[in-house]
Amino acid sequence: MSKQMLIITGPQGAGNHLWSKIFSLHPRVFGWKSLLTNYWEPHRFNEPFAEHWRNPTKLKDFDWSQKDQYVTSISIPLGIPNNEENPIWEPNLKEFKKHVEELDIECQFAVIGRDQNILHEQQTRIRTESTLPLFLKQLPKDAIFLSYELLYLYKGDYLKQLSQQVNVGLAWDDPRINNILSDDANKKYIHSVEENLLDQGNKTGKIFKDRP
């Protein structure tokens, strides 16, 4: 049986930690298992392949006998501008994938999607500017897509469908999923709207030829 690796990637703040937890639930998968105990950990120290993202040539020295299925996650970029302790850098997706495949391991990209307005707010709050353009420069063309919003909306039903698309095991019915999804980080960005002009259209059937 050949070995497989799923590379979860996306813009900063898209939910790499969340999806790492979801994909680490399956017993056959080598993933970021410590996140199932700890709510959050820094990627640069604790993600199992952190040092290999810095230097993909080290992948040949990794102990691949541990499992047949592997999951790693990376956001682009990592770090914070003008921060000496955690400087910004851009992992190279193509280079990492090339070194994995040279070891005869099947590799698949899974790109995380999240609301663009929330991404902008999150990135400018922490990084003082949007870092999305840096990810878009490396956006894989041969990827499947993971939706932050669909995960919270449909939970196990969404994951069950997704399990047919990914190359590693996905424990879509694991009872721990409800606990992982109990805290939706989108909530802090959402605020009520008392009224919208289109509300009258819904109430009265009025047609708007132009944007109100």
Q: How far is 181 from 167, CA to CA, in rounded Å?
A: 23
User: Is residue 81 very low, low, confident or very high in pLDDT (cuts 50, 70, 90)?
Assistant: confident
Segment 74-86 shows an average pLDDT of 92
Side-chain half-sphere exposure of 84, counting CA atoms within 13 A: 0
CATH number of 3-204: 3.40.50
Least confident of 39-48, 182-191, 199-208: 199-208
Q: For residue 64, how many other CB atoms are within 10 A of its CB?
A: 17
Alpha-helix residue ranges (DSSP H) falling in 27-175: 43-46, 50-54, 93-101, 116-127, 132-136, 148-154, 156-162
Task: Tell me the pairing of strands 29-30 and 3-11.
Answer: unpaired
State the maximum Cα–Cα separation within the chain, in Å, rounded to a whole number: 67
Supply 192's token pair. 């009520």
| Residue 10: φ, ψ to 5° | 170, 180
Q: What percent of the chain has pLDDT over 70?
A: 92
Q: How far is 32 from 36, CA to CA, in rounded Å?
A: 8
* Cα torsion through 155, 158, 160, 166, rounded to 10: -120
Supply 96's token pair. 């990492």
| Cβ–Cβ under 8 Å, residues 96 and 31 | no
User: Would you say residue 120 has pLDDT above 90?
Assistant: yes
Nearest to 19 by CA among 66, 71, 92, 69: 71
Segment 119-135 shows an average pLDDT of 95
User: Would you say residue 14 has pLDDT above 60?
Assistant: yes
DSSP 3-state of 181:
coil
DSSP 3-state of 144:
strand
